[in-house]
Structure 1
Amino acid sequence: MEVLALAGKQTPLFAEYKESNGKTIDFGGWDLPVQFSSIKEEHHAVRSKAGLFDVSHMGEIRVTGKGTMDYLQTILTNNVKRAKIGACQYNAMCYEDGGTVDDLVIYKFSEEEVLLVVNASNIEKDFEWLKQHANTDVKVENESEHFAQLAIQGPLAENVAQKLTKTDLSEITFFRFKSEVNFANKLVLISRTGYTGEDGFEIYCSPNDAVHLWRSILSAGESEGLLPCGLGARDTLRFEAKLALYGQELSKSITPVEAGIGFAVKTDKEENFLGKNVLKRQKELGAKRKLVGLEMMDKGIPRTDYEVFYKEKKIGFITTGTQSPTLQKNIGLALIDSEYKELGTEVEVQVRKRRLKAKVVSTPFYKRS
């Protein structure tokens, strides 16, 4: 195992990376695998077959109590009261000015119990934010150390996972979950969710069971072409599907509406939530900035933070960019002034000392059929 810039925090699967030739990097204070074989090979495996990811660095915060729904309605942008028991729901948590504290997924066990799955780099910040705005009707607990999380993604994900459980996984539909599932002889929570643009499952388990599950899934998936996958492929896959990454498409200075996740912002719900007034104006009048897709016309790759120009005017910046393994094109997501958002608009990207031509294209870049 090649180790680069070790930072300290390790998931229960750290020792397993060596068995699959994982190359680790520092990611938000965690030692995580960037790749096992190659980013492109892992990317294509998920698009055509299946891939296995260790996402145990993600955070889990549980909210319980009789006031759970009312409390979450005031701190999250989506309408949590509309989510059914046993459903997952994508959400954002905002500051008063509409900037994003974090984006997250909730798991609704009951009207009085919800699990929030948050980004690894934001665990402590989110926990403090949630506690700061809590009342005596709810209890907020950071349970991140009690969970490990694996993700099986790809068109053959169900085939692989079904080998390890008698539970009919076809009954777990998109953005639904089931707890207390016997999976490879361990009790887990399993949801039909993911961060790749493909079908798949995320499995929440005890950290003590993570190694057994990792090995069991690799074994079950061998005949299906499943590969262990790292952060590199996770990033190119989510980028092609236009799934936001906190710190790039979303941040303290970028609102959910600007980032294109306005579908998770329900300004018509009765309750006031943090940032509601700003986000409501942006939804009704249009945000001044918009996240768009760019395709390079000149030869060059648009990288994060590269500046975008229209003639001589700076109009925004690249949030994420790469050569798409699926499309074989140099593409990027850019947050730009909304007046330049129309499809086909030609702009320029500052790539080192040169300005290279690009055009606004539709997103997501990739959508599974």
Structure 2
Amino acid sequence: MATTARTVPTASPLAAAHAALGASFTDFAGWSMPVRYASDLAEHQAVRSSAGVFDLSHMGEIRVTGPQAAQALDAALVGRPSTMPIGRAAYGMVVDHAGGIVDDLVTYRLGETEFLVVANAANVEPVVVAIADRARPHDAHVADETARWALVAVQGPASVAIVDPLVDADLTALGYYRCTPAVLDGVDVLVARTGYTGEDGFEVFAPVEQAERVWNLLLEAAREHGGVPAGLACRDTLRLEAGMPLYGHELSREVSPYAAGLGRIVKLDKEPGAVGLEALRRLSEEPPTRVLVGLRGSGRRAPRAGYAVLADGAVVGQVTSGALSPTLGYPVAMGYVEAAHAAAGTALTVDVRGTELPVEVVQLPFYRRDR
């Protein structure tokens, strides 16, 4: 009998550190990553009240360099990276010829002719292929550097107090969606004021060979402020509360930026030739039939991904993500519903294992931090 070999997930460069902390691991996008250390709830609450330290080394790092790197990325992404000042970051997407989302990502401009594109772990290969193909007419070089970098995030209201004393850059003056090179205890790093939790925070890119050193320094400093190591489980409830989409749930090739409520990041006044540009122009003029909304429930039973959304007993949508909100104390979910039922305040139900539970359409995000 023929057998199929099981693919062994890639270990994080911080795997030994996580094991020493008692982490539970899960396979995620081909990587073995810590899902939790002790308690999902405690880790979630620590991020909201003080800080959590996350290993994000499964994310993909793609460096684009050369005299026409900016023009190459203009052709590859839905935005216009050529207009970004050095030291800025921008949320963006790669779409296909039909305007479907290949991946959502963050682009950092490191220099006049140098950019770093950070892609989701499951989509590194298609993003590298897409950018390289679209960059071909330009004088630019595309390199997948995922294996070279570890990525550690410190997220929460204490993040400035934690990270700023460790580096030689003034992080108090670093604006949101900005980045700066820095030195952390002798290690050259890139520090970005970005994150995926709805809180203030930093993401620190460090060479793989220095990963444990950087992780340990950041975690030690975080503990002094009540911070804890945090896994993927709480990262998911944090981003859900903050109304942040997750590829494979809210975003896919079957969804356009407009249906996802992200049309604001699309730049249509670009040079002809950008992949998906004509499709995006058409989609911008056609109201989507289904749109992404927030759904607020009651009680303790939360809608989950895949559950049907109903109006008067008829299916009008589907939940893409859902959980009992640790911060708010009631069920929250995101999902796509028919445009006629998408207005805030609309009363709908979700089929939770055969029981229709009431939900209300609400404006995203569910949670917004005090600034």
1:157 equivalent in structure 2: 159
1:344 equivalent in structure 2: 345
1:201 equivalent in structure 2: 202
* Counterpart-to-counterpart distance in 2, 1:51 and 1:11: 18
Deviation at 1:354, TM superposition (A): 2.0
Q: Which runs of 5+ in 2 are unaligned?
A: 1-5
1:258 equivalent in structure 2: 259
2:250 equivalent in structure 1: 249
2:365 equivalent in structure 1: 364
Deviation at 1:338, TM superposition (A): 1.0
2:147 equivalent in structure 1: 145
**1:120-269 aligned within 5 A:** 120-136=121-137, 137-179=139-181, 181-269=182-270
Deviation at 1:270, TM superposition (A): 4.3
* Counterpart-to-counterpart distance in 2, 1:254 and 1:350: 23
* Counterpart-to-counterpart distance in 2, 1:167 and 1:101: 35
Give yes or no for the alignment of 1:318 onto 2:319: yes
1:283 equivalent in structure 2: 284
Deviation at 1:213, TM superposition (A): 1.0
Equivalent residues of 1:76, 1:91 under 8 A apart = yes
Equivalent residues of 1:55, 1:149 under 8 A apart = yes
* Counterpart-to-counterpart distance in 2, 1:300 and 1:268: 46
Amino acid across the alignment from 1:306: Y
* Counterpart-to-counterpart distance in 2, 1:367 and 1:318: 21
Identity of aligned residues (%): 38
Distance 1:298 1:90, change over 3 A: same
Deviation at 1:72, TM superposition (A): 1.3
**1:35-184 aligned within 5 A:** 35-136=36-137, 137-179=139-181, 181-184=182-185
- Could you say what secondary structure the match of 1:163 adopts? helix
Query: After superposition, what is the alpha-carbon deviation per residue over 1:312-343, rounded to whole angstroms, capped at 9, x for unaligned?
Result: 33211111000001101111001111111111
Equivalent residues of 2:310, 2:350 under 8 A apart = yes
Deviates more, 1:224-233 or 1:264-273: 264-273
- Could you say what secondary structure the match of 1:140 adopts? strand
Query: After superposition, what is the alpha-carbon deviation per residue over 1:214-254, rounded to whole angstroms, capped at 9, x for unaligned?
Result: 11112112220010000011111111111111101100101
Equivalent residues of 1:297, 1:359 under 8 A apart = no
* Counterpart-to-counterpart distance in 2, 1:350 and 1:237: 24
TM-score by length of 1: 0.95
- Could you say what secondary structure the match of 1:204 adopts? strand
Q: Which runs of 5+ in 1 are unaligned?
A: none
Equivalent residues of 2:300, 2:330 under 8 A apart = no
Deviation at 1:208, TM superposition (A): 0.8
Equivalent residues of 2:349, 2:357 under 8 A apart = yes
- Could you say what secondary structure the match of 2:224 adopts? helix
Deviates more, 1:260-269 or 1:5-14: 5-14
Deviation at 1:97, TM superposition (A): 1.1
Deviation at 1:298, TM superposition (A): 6.2
Equivalent residues of 2:299, 2:330 under 8 A apart = no
* Counterpart-to-counterpart distance in 2, 1:223 and 1:250: 37
* Counterpart-to-counterpart distance in 2, 1:185 and 1:24: 30
* Counterpart-to-counterpart distance in 1, 2:127 and 2:76: 11
* Counterpart-to-counterpart distance in 2, 1:191 and 1:350: 41
Deviates more, 1:100-109 or 1:263-272: 263-272
Amino acid across the alignment from 2:66: G
* Counterpart-to-counterpart distance in 2, 1:126 and 1:201: 24
RMSD: 1.6
Distance 1:188 1:298, change over 3 A: closer
Query: After superposition, what is the alpha-carbon deviation per residue over 1:122-156, rounded to whole angstroms, capped at 9, x for unaligned?
Result: 11121122222221511111111110000000000
Amino acid across the alignment from 1:68: A
Equivalent residues of 1:73, 1:271 under 8 A apart = no
Equivalent residues of 1:61, 1:144 under 8 A apart = yes
* Counterpart-to-counterpart distance in 1, 2:7 and 2:275: 37
Equivalent residues of 1:298, 1:358 under 8 A apart = no
* Counterpart-to-counterpart distance in 1, 2:71 and 2:164: 37
* Counterpart-to-counterpart distance in 2, 1:37 and 1:282: 45
Deviation at 1:272, TM superposition (A): 4.7
Count how many residue pairs are aligned between Structure 1 and Structure 2: 364
Deviation at 1:185, TM superposition (A): 2.4
* Counterpart-to-counterpart distance in 2, 1:175 and 1:228: 23
Deviates more, 1:228-237 or 1:338-347: 338-347
Deviation at 1:16, TM superposition (A): 0.6
Distance 1:299 1:42, change over 3 A: closer
* Counterpart-to-counterpart distance in 2, 1:200 and 1:212: 19
Deviates more, 1:351-360 or 1:219-228: 351-360
* Counterpart-to-counterpart distance in 1, 2:292 and 2:49: 28
